[in-house]
Amino acid sequence: DAEDGDPEARALAAKLAAYRGVWVFVEQTEGEPARVSWELMGKGRELADTLGVPLSAVVIGSHVEELCYHSFCYGADQAYLVDEPVFRHYRTEAYLKAVCRLIENYQPEIVLMGATGLGRDLAGAVATVVGTGLTADCTGLGIDDRRNLMQTRPAFGGNIMATIMCDKFRPQMATVRPHVMPLPERVEGKSGPVIRVASGVKEEEMLTKVLAVVSDRNRDHVDVAGAEFIVSGGRGMMGKENFVLLQELADELGGVVGASRSAVDAGWMPHERQVGQTGKTVRPKIYIACGISGAIQHLVGMQDSDLIIAINRDPDAPIFEVAHLGIVGDLFQVVPALTERLRSL
Ligand code: FAD
């Protein structure tokens, strides 16, 4: 400890203290921001206020200055902007260089990114190059009494929650999945300084080139993670053909159909619909779990839903421990009856 006079500890404390401020990487595709960036801005604001340091948005892309202003509306005090044609499409090598240069020059103590495909790729590469740690897929972030970031995430297959700290390196880096943190309220008309930074990245030095962007038409485009109403089915559905019952109920609610991993593994639903630790994290207004037992790996993906309704014929199923409303019964009777009732309203 610095206080006990150990010179090594004092040197470490001085090294760590040189890093200051909380950063949120603002992910975008063709200028369209990822919602998770604003969710992180809300959490970043809380962390920055606890530490008494500024909250910065990191905006990288081509023609993306507008995103700095959106960042202010979601709580950022200032924004670092790297706006050059070379960043039009995401490429690890280009973005990696830009983020590492920013970190070297401005030394933040915390860097947060969304645990999206892009964020997972970039965060791991950045942490490796700058020589720090990274906690992926955090579900909770806080500050301890020594100003360290406490990063909580499920471990050992979701059976325990681990709190991880990076107390010897800076910056402290974490990724958080979409929909884990609530979206902060947007306050219009806010502004702040935009710090323009040249990346030094040259197109001719890039090893990869984006020749075309082709959208995957065959993908299941149902957005389970963003849905307000979800009717999910598990092994209790007994077969693919029975999911039509859930689709009918979801249609009445204006929602979508989700699934447990067992249902996905059985081939009844595509992986895009899976809710849970290795699927999507959801936070709908209503989550109806049908024939789902409530394994911890499923619960971590849906337990923050506003209202959870469970339908299960086993009164001891663990799903009833998180459900606000429980129906003990055969889903093949209960689900059509619910749909019928909604139709008649
Ligand atoms: P079961 O546990 O078999 O439950 C079926 C339920 O249906 C039972 O409770 C039964 O009472 C009820 N039922 C049966 N028939 C009827 C009926 N006619 N009417 C009413 N109720 C009925 N799981 C996920 O869901 N998402 C994940 O992301 C995920 N990730 C995982 C990651 C790891 C590393 C591991 C090890 C596991 C993961 N799992 C995940 C799997 C998880 O542990 C469970 O195996 C899975 O969630 C169980 O799915 P289930 O509830 O559909 O099936």
pLDDT tens per residue, range 235-290: 999 999 999 999 999 999 999 999 999 999 999 999 999 999 999 999 999 999 99
Atom index in ligand 1 nearest the CA of residue 259 equals 25
103 Ramachandran zone, left/alpha/beta (phi>0; psi -120 to 50): alpha
- In angstroms, what is the span from residue 90 Cα to ligand 1's centroid? 37
CA distance 142 to 124: 21
Q: pLDDT tens digits for 69-78?
A: 999 999 999 9
Q: What is the pTM of this model?
A: 0.77
Cα separations in angstroms, 265 against 143, 262, 290: 39, 5, 17
Q: What is the overall mean pLDDT for the chain?
A: 94
Which helix H or strand E contains 99, and what residues bound it? Answer: helix 92-106
pLDDT surpassing 60 at residue 146: yes
Cβ proximity of 71 and 79 under 8 Å: yes
pLDDT value at residue 92: 97
User: Quick one: pLDDT at residue 175?
Assistant: 98
Instruction: Please check the confidence at residue 291 and state whether its pLDDT lies above 80.
Output: yes
DSSP 230-299: EEEE-GGG-SGGGHHHHHHHHHHHT-EEEE-HHHHHTTSS-GGGBBSTTSB----SEEEEES----HHHH
Number of Cβ within 10 Å of residue 53's Cβ equals 18
Q: What is the pLDDT of residue 19?
A: 96
For residue 39, the CA-to-ligand 1 centroid distance in Å is 29
The percent helix, strand, coil of the chain (3-state, each to 5) is 35, 25, 40
User: Which residues have any ligand 1 atom within 6 Å of their CB?
Assistant: 157, 234-236, 260-263, 274-279, 291-293, 295, 297-298, 301, 311-314, 317, 330-332
Q: What integer is the mean pLDDT of 131-158?
A: 92
Percentage of residues in the chain with pLDDT exceeding 70?
Answer: 97
pLDDT of residue 155: 86
Q: Is the pLDDT of residue 326 over 90?
A: yes
Ligand 1 centroid – CA 263 distance (Å)? 8
